[in-house]
A and B are shown apart, each in its own frame.
Chain A
Amino acid sequence: QVTLRESGPALVKPTQTLTLTCTFSGFSLSTSGMCVSWIRQPPGKALEWLALIDSADDKYYLPSLKTRLTISRDTSKNQVVLRMTNVDPVDTATYYCVRTYWNTHQEFDFWGQGSLVTISS
């Protein structure tokens, strides 16, 4: 059974760095074709893909946020971490950790429950 769970702070001050952790089970990020992405959704707004890390440890970012994002993994702990620097109130959103199995193009087939992060002083 595949599960993903996001964890991190609920409140972050502007200009600080946000660090979110995704802990997953039921699959291995070392398996060829496995990927984990971070996707966010501001309140009442649309989904936005942010970053992806794959089984080869290659990393990809939304171009408009690339300078502020870092995605990394710890395969021994089954965790993926997203860091976002210099946060702003517009970064207030629910952040989701999501799996893709690229070998069968099953894009975002399993989602975490989401972690609501508010950026405010």
Chain B
Amino acid sequence: QSALTQPASVSGSPGQSITVSCTGTSSDVGGYNLVSWYQQHPGKAPKFIIYEVSKRPSGVSNRFSGSKSGNTASLTISGLQAEDEADYYCCSYAGNSIRVFGGGTKVTVL
């Protein structure tokens, strides 16, 4: 299993919307509706923000949304805020109980 492909960085101004992509294959992202997303601030453990492609856990802002098309999943952050500046990771189920992460995307708020 190879890591999922994410852009190294994405940036936006406060109030804007940005999208982080996560590209895999038909064996992982494209094969299952089991993509999740995590937010990680420096020096902290990751935080669970999206599961099953587009579901938000309780307590997660509705400014975070997820989607999928074919082998590519996406995380959209709307109404970008300074506190959203962090690293974001996607993860997909890849069959046989294997999981695979993306390489991570640094989101910068300009």
A60-B95 Cα distance, complex, nearest whole Å: 11
Secondary structure class of chain A's binding surface, majority of residues: strand
Residues of chain B with a CB closer than 8 A to A60's CB: 96-98
B101 at the interface (CB under 8 A from A): yes
Number of B residues near A (Cβ < 8 Å) is 24
- Contact of A96 with B by CB under 8 A: yes
Minimal beta-carbon separation of B104 from chain A (angstroms):
5
Which of B1, B38, B51 contacts A105, CB < 8 Å?
A: B51
Q: Does B84 contact A (CB under 8 A)?
A: no
Q: Give Cα A74 to B45, complex, Å.
A: 24
Q: Across the interface, do B98 and A47 meet the contact criterion of CB distance under 8 Å?
A: no
A46, CB-defined interface residue at 8 Å: yes
B77 to chain A, nearest CB (A): 19
Chain A residues at the B interface, C-beta cutoff of 8 Å: 37, 39, 46-49, 52, 54, 58, 60, 62-63, 96, 105-114
Pairs across A and B, CB under 8 Å, 9 listed:
A47-B101, A47-B104, A49-B100, A54-B97, A60-B96, A62-B98, A107-B51, A111-B47, A113-B45
